[in-house]
Amino acid sequence: MGNSRSDIDTGEVLFKQGNKMAVQGIWSGTISFSLVAIPVQLVKAVEPGRVSFRMLHSKDYSPLARRMFCPEEDAIVHPDEIIRGYEIRPGKYILITNEELESVSPQRSRTIEIVEFINMNEVDSIYYDHPYYLVPTKGGEKAYRLLVEVMRRTNKAGLAKFVLGEREYLVAVKSMGGALALMTLHYSEEILPDEDISPRGGEIEAEEKSRIKKIIKKMMADFSPEKYADERRKKIMDLLKKKAKEKVPVEAPQVEEEEGEGPADLIAALKESMRKVKMKR
Amino acid sequence: MAGGTIWKGYIHFGDTNVPVKLHTAIKEERIQFHLLHSRDHVKLRQQMICAYEKKAVPDEEQVKGFEVEDGKYIIVNPEELGQTAPESSRLIDVHEFIKTEQIDPIFLDRVYYLEPDIHLKGYNALVGALMEMDVEGICTWTMKKRSYLGALQTNGKILRLNTLRYADEVISVKSLGLQKIPLSEKELKIGSDLINQLTGFFQPQKFENEHQKKLHTLIGKKARGEKIAVLLPRRLKPTAPDKLLQALKASLKKVA
Amino acid sequence: MSRKVVEIAGRRLSLSNLEKDLYPSYGFTKAHILEYYRRIAMFILPHLEDRALTLKRYPEGVEKDFFFEKRCPSHRPGWVKTAEVSRDYGERMTVCLINDLETLIWVQNLASVELHVPLARVGSPETPDFMVFDLDPGDQATILVCAQVALILRDLLSRLGLTSYVKTSGKKGLHLYVPLNHKGKTFEDTKQFSRAVAVIMEKNYPDLVTAKMAKKYRKANVFINWAQNDSKKTMICIYSLRAREKPIVSFPLAWKELENAARQDDSEKLQVIHSEAVITAEKQGDLSREVLVKKQKLPYL
């Protein structure tokens, strides 16, 4: 039979980019301001375009995965047997459970509480860390749309703190293109001082400045990020396309799930039924 | 102190060349936990395990593959990958200048401080020019075998380089599939009033990483053998669409 | 190459390249393919309804390049029904739904000889309507070995209270369907169940069955591909043509037929060609109708 080629009509590439990640919903909870509460889900707003590879076992091309390994028992440890510990002295740990972790900020888990609003242009871009989108879940569509619309009209962003996983974040929730974007911010104490690298004294260089301004004027444009592409990514994709034509891709053997055979009742019932089937045959 | 020097380059546009050193600008505060085996409290290590054989795999037996289809891979070796790396260059090539505030924060990735290298040579002039014209430079450069897109900015004292995400790395709002819902002018007016009432100045120093502080307290308590009360997280009841106006009015009353 | 305009249910469709021979070794043109699908429409449409279609297009015929198309082509007529599905990264994509004859014909005009659909419908993408056992024979095994496995599997499942239905894949294998048709179970459940079944089959019939995908285990064995029970996977739709040398159909079989073929060691009986498919379907009706309506619950989960 023939080889497959990419779907040109709709730009969908046969090559799958990146690792398969969970669909939807990094976090779900409520976003609130004063007495209004909106049920939402946090989803990704950006996706790294870097071509990602999987590490494979050269013997059988089976995918490798990072697992936690107990050096004492020389064996892989099941996630259920893993616990967090804080090292107070070398070799001495204080154990912390998930419930204890979540309990440290009980009011903030599952809620993004906007405590105040600020003007977006007051925020120095150095504060921005990572962007996400918030999407409304059932019942919250109207209140969500309201918040988006009023923040757009007033050109304000909401400041809040919320706990995701192990960390607490300071976030700015803003209106973006008809949706709510949530940007995590760095705490002030995390921003390193720049005094020691800022030039001390030095002439104003007025002539040089004037000359530079003239050049800048000639080079003015509007921000259009689509103009720029990741060259390395393109080269890697070209390499991959070339290799795909030369050789058939290798296939990894089927992976058995670690969980075991299945629920005990089912296994027992299957064993019994199989016994009867074999007897008949 | 700013972070150590991680790279050196030249800002270049026209016949202007400003040598600079890159420093990290952010240091994240985090309590580090170790992962332990619950049975014997032994510190666990990360290993690359073969999903099929369920055994650890040594480095020599590891290869890189790109998944084209479920379970099917194209193998690449380090030499081939090496050839795709961009040529090393010390140039931070500025292609154009834009008015500041044009870049939506969603594009911002990492920030670096730029320190003048060798001597000042045009650094202050560039700071002054960017500041007075209220512009940023869009530039590309190569660092450690990767290509970057970024914005050259200033805060009036020093120059900063803010790496940017590529356009196709930003997920479009359209793909979220949000519905358009009509809102009444009354709801919009009260909402806007409420927001204005709740508006303050951006004072980031006000916010401390309280969670970290509380974690330290928790750890301290456990170390002393004190009892910990585990509280369940509170979940707010969502505001029903027909009660929205009511909630807005009540909120406004509270803050006014 | 000719172009012809037809009207179906009040809608106009422009058909092209009707004389193009898409099965050159056999001699089966696009017009023939359209005719096949027109006649099989009433049997295939219920199995296509509300399922995110993956087109498999062979514009130059079955012996040349093909390509998959999950996104509904943007040049579609306005009346083609579509749905929005979620993909990885929160992205959404528009897919075609073949809910009527005119859309089926339109899709066939695009030379989408094979029609592949998921096990769940667009409205509830995480709820499979049925559990499947995709029986895939190794290089040295035949469809008759598959038949043996299918018959044992059917016996085993019936002892657990589950009725199953079988169809040919249109290639070398067989597909066993266990209808569920209720909200309770997800792909997690069907995957877990089918895997447990596959493993016990392998344990008890090691010379016949394998539950592992690696080619080295297959050879003379039949691979029970339990991993098909996944929201991201698709199966060839029942009554769809296959892009092989001849226009063979993925066709439902009565268990008795399978038993006879196995007993008589006659694999030919299990290759249903387009003409036979139409005649049989028109005479017997849709043998796999129960797959869409029968409600069953997976026990022990």
C268 touches chain B (CB under 8 A): no
Closest chain B residue to the Cα of A16, Cα to Cα: B68
Domain spanning C3-118: CATH 3.90.920.10: yes
Residue C63 Cα, gap to closest chain A Cα (Å):
5
B6 touches chain A (CB under 8 A): no
C89 touches chain B (CB under 8 A): yes
B163 touches chain A (CB under 8 A): no
How far apart are the C-alpha atoms of A16 and C261, rounded to whole Å? 41
Q: Mean pLDDT, to the nearest integer, of A173-201? A: 89
Which of A8-22, A174-188, C86-100 comes out lowest in average pLDDT?
A8-22
For A7, which of C67, C195, C211 is closest by C-beta distance? C67
B177 touches chain C (CB under 8 A): yes
For A168, which of B145, B211, B230 is closest by C-beta distance? B211
Closest chain B residue to the Cα of C92, Cα to Cα: B175
Looking at residue B7, the DSSP 8-state letter turns out to be E
Per-residue pLDDT band at A108 (split at 50, 70, 90): low
Residue C84 Cα, gap to closest chain B Cα (Å):
9
Contact A131 B129 (CB under 8 A): no
For A199, which of B29, B49, B124 is closest by C-beta distance? B124
The token pair that represents A1 in the structure block: 């039979």
How far apart are the C-alpha atoms of B95 and A40, rounded to whole Å? 40
Per-residue pLDDT band at A258 (split at 50, 70, 90): very low
Per-residue pLDDT band at B179 (split at 50, 70, 90): confident
- Look-up of token digits 């989960």: C301
Per-residue pLDDT band at B207 (split at 50, 70, 90): confident
The token pair that represents A105 in the structure block: 């900020």
Subunits adjacent to chain C (3 or more Cβ pairs under 8 Å) = A, B
Residues of C in contact with A1 (CB under 8 A): 62-63, 66, 243
Residues of B in contact with C90 (CB under 8 A): 171, 175-176
Residues of B in contact with A204 (CB under 8 A): 124-125, 128
The token pair that represents A203 in the structure block: 């002439």
How far apart are the C-alpha atoms of C123 and C225, rounded to whole Å? 26
Predicted confidence at residue B256, as pLDDT, reads 66
**In C187-196, which positions are buried (b, 16+ CB within 10 angstroms) versus exposed (e)?**
bebbbbbbbb
CA distances from residue C9 to A8, B212, C33, C79, C295 in whole angstroms, order as listed: 31, 67, 20, 11, 33
How far apart are the C-alpha atoms of A41 and A43, rounded to whole Å? 6
CA distances from residue C242 to A274, C49, C58, C171 in whole angstroms, order as listed: 34, 20, 11, 7
Residues of C in contact with B176 (CB under 8 A): 90, 92
How far apart are the C-alpha atoms of B109 and A230, rounded to whole Å? 15
How far apart are the C-alpha atoms of B147 and B145, rounded to whole Å? 7
- The answer to whether B65 and A120 have CB atoms below 8 angstroms apart is no
Mutate to test the interface with A, among B45, B178, B186 (most CBs of A within 10 A): B178
How far apart are the C-alpha atoms of C285 and C279, rounded to whole Å? 10
Predicted confidence at residue C139, as pLDDT, reads 85
Residues of A in contact with B14 (CB under 8 A): 215, 219
pLDDT at residue A261 tops 70: no
Residue B50 Cα, gap to closest chain A Cα (Å):
5
Residue C232 Cα, gap to closest chain A Cα (Å):
11
B224 touches chain A (CB under 8 A): no
Between β-strands C222-225 and C3-8, what pairing exists: parallel, antiparallel or unpaired? unpaired
Residues of B in contact with A209 (CB under 8 A): 124-126, 128-129, 132
Domains in chain B: ranges and CATH: 5-27+85-167 (2.40.290.10)
Residue A268 Cα, gap to closest chain B Cα (Å):
26
The token pair that represents C184 in the structure block: 């309770």
Predicted confidence at residue C217, as pLDDT, reads 67
Provide the CATH topology of domain C130-232+248-293.
Alpha-Beta Plaits (3.30.70)
Contact C86 A262 (CB under 8 A): no
Closest chain A residue to the Cα of B16, Cα to Cα: A212
Predicted confidence at residue C30, as pLDDT, reads 93
Mutate to test the interface with C, among A274, A276, A278, A280 (most CBs of C within 10 A): A274
Residue C187 Cα, gap to closest chain B Cα (Å):
17
For B171, which of C84, C90, C232 is closest by C-beta distance? C90
Predicted confidence at residue B208, as pLDDT, reads 83
For C204, which of A251, A269, A274 is closest by C-beta distance? A274
Subunits adjacent to chain B (3 or more Cβ pairs under 8 Å) = A, C
What does the domain layout of chain A look like in residue ranges?
27-54+70-191+225-242
Contact B176 C90 (CB under 8 A): yes
Relative orientation angle of helices C143-159 and C255-264, to the nearest 10 degrees: 140
More confident residue, A182 or B60: A182
Q: Mean pLDDT, to the nearest integer, of A9-29? A: 43
Average pLDDT, consecutive stretches of 10 residues, N- to C-terminus, chain C (301 residues): 82 90 93 95 96 90 84 89 76 88 94 94 92 92 93 95 96 96 89 93 91 74 92 93 95 94 89 95 93 92 78
Element (H, E) at B255: helix B244-255
Contact C87 A274 (CB under 8 A): no
Residues of B in contact with C89 (CB under 8 A): 171
Contact C214 A254 (CB under 8 A): yes
Contact A192 B205 (CB under 8 A): no
Sheet holding B62-69, edge to edge: A54-57, B62-69, B72-76, A250-251
B9-60 tens-digit pLDDT: 999 998 889 999 999 999 887 788 889 887 778 888 888 888 776 677 888 8
For C214, which of A7, A253, A265 is closest by C-beta distance? A253
Residues of C in contact with A257 (CB under 8 A): 195
C84 touches chain B (CB under 8 A): yes
Q: Which amino acid is at C254?
A: A
Specify the CATH class of A27-54+70-191+225-242 in words.
mainly beta
Q: Which of residues 215-254 of C touch B (CB under 8 A)?
A: 232
How far apart are the C-alpha atoms of B164 and B103, rounded to whole Å? 9
pLDDT at residue A8 tops 70: no
Per-residue pLDDT band at B253 (split at 50, 70, 90): confident
pLDDT at residue A255 tops 60: no
Residues of C in contact with A267 (CB under 8 A): 196, 200
- The answer to whether A130 and A183 have CB atoms below 8 angstroms apart is yes
Sheet holding B34-37, edge to edge: A92-96, A82-89, B34-37
Per-residue pLDDT band at B101 (split at 50, 70, 90): confident
C90 touches chain A (CB under 8 A): yes
Contact A106 B181 (CB under 8 A): no
- Evaluate if pTM is beyond 0.90: no
For B238, which of A37, A147, A178 is closest by C-beta distance? A37
Predicted confidence at residue A203, as pLDDT, reads 67
For B175, which of C91, C213, C232 is closest by C-beta distance? C91
User: Residue B221 in 3-state DSSP?
Assistant: helix
Average pLDDT, chain A: 80
Residues of B in contact with A119 (CB under 8 A): 199, 202
Contact A64 B37 (CB under 8 A): no
More confident residue, A33 or C251: C251
Residues of B in contact with C91 (CB under 8 A): 171, 175
Residues of A in contact with C204 (CB under 8 A): 274, 278
- The answer to whether C251 and C47 have CB atoms below 8 angstroms apart is no
Alpha-carbon C128 to chain mean position: 15
Between β-strands B5-13 and B16-24, what pairing exists: parallel, antiparallel or unpaired? antiparallel
Q: How many residues does chain A have?
A: 281
Per-residue pLDDT band at A263 (split at 50, 70, 90): confident
- The answer to whether B77 and B65 have CB atoms below 8 angstroms apart is no
For residue A76, the cross-strand partners are A69
What is the ipTM score, two decimals? 0.82
For B65, which of A54, A124, A213 is closest by C-beta distance? A54
* DSSP per position, A120-142: GGGS-GGGEEEEEEEEE-TT-HH
Q: Which residue, B106, B142, B121, B108, is CA-closest to B7?
A: B142
User: Residue A31 in 3-state DSSP?
Assistant: strand
For residue A181, the cross-strand partners are A133, A174
pLDDT at residue A15 tops 70: no
The token pair that represents B122 in the structure block: 């045009």
Predicted confidence at residue B232, as pLDDT, reads 61
Mutate to test the interface with C, among B67, B70, B175 (most CBs of C within 10 A): B175
Contact A266 C71 (CB under 8 A): no
More confident residue, A280 or A228: A228
Sign of CA dihedral A273, A274, A275, A281: positive
How far apart are the C-alpha atoms of A146 and B187, rounded to whole Å? 8
